[in-house]
Amino acid sequence: MVVNVGIHAVSGVGTIVNDDTTATTVTFADAAPTTEGNSGSKLFKFPVTLSPPTGFPVEVSYQTADGTAAVANNDYHATTATLQIPAGAPSDTIRIIVNGDTRFENDETFFVNITSVSGAVNGGPPTVQARS
């Protein structure tokens, strides 16, 4: 027989930690340096990667901007668009058309500016630079 025993705690707490809140990181990479050629056009490809992929669609809005390459010189096609990455997809590619020419010129650059990202955490509008 136990006598003079007191109870100090009448309940315990269990904490369920939410494991579904991992933020998705959106990473933008430079296009590989590519020769423009003397005629026709080539696609410059800028990889966009999600880590980890999200269960929701992700939209990446972007627009090109002149560096030393210029739309006025017909170096590349001005582009304002939105890349739509489907739910669960790990990556996609922004494609920009670069025009060939026979002008003697130094290596040229243009930019792809990310203007917004929705459906995933965005650390700010990064800039991607390519050489043409």
Distance from the first to the final alpha carbon of the chain? 90
pTM over 0.85: no
What is the phi-psi region of residue 15: left when phi exceeds 0, alpha when psi lies from -120 to 50, beta otherwise?
A: beta
Confidence (pLDDT) at 132? 37
Query: Could you read off the pLDDT of 22-37 as tens digits, one per residue?
Result: 667 788 888 888 888 8
Contacts of 129 (CB under 8 A, 6+ apart): 30, 67, 109, 110, 111, 112
pLDDT of residue 17: 65
Q: Give 33-72 as a 3 state SS string.
A: CCCCCCCCEEEEEEEEEEECCCCCCEEEEEEEEECCCCHH
What's the pLDDT score for residue 123? 43
Q: Residue 92: its pLDDT value, please? A: 96
pLDDT value of residue 4: 63
Among residues 67, 79, 68, the alpha carbon closest in space to that of 41 is found at: 79
Phi-psi region of 40 (alpha: psi -120 to 50; beta: other; left: phi over 0): left
One digit per residue, the tens of pLDDT, for the chain of length 132 reads: 556 665 555 666 776 665 555 667 788 888 888 888 899 999 999 999 888 788 788 889 999 999 999 999 999 999 999 999 998 899 999 999 999 999 998 999 999 998 888 876 444 433 333 333
Are 79 and 99 in contact by the 8 Å Cβ rule? The answer is no
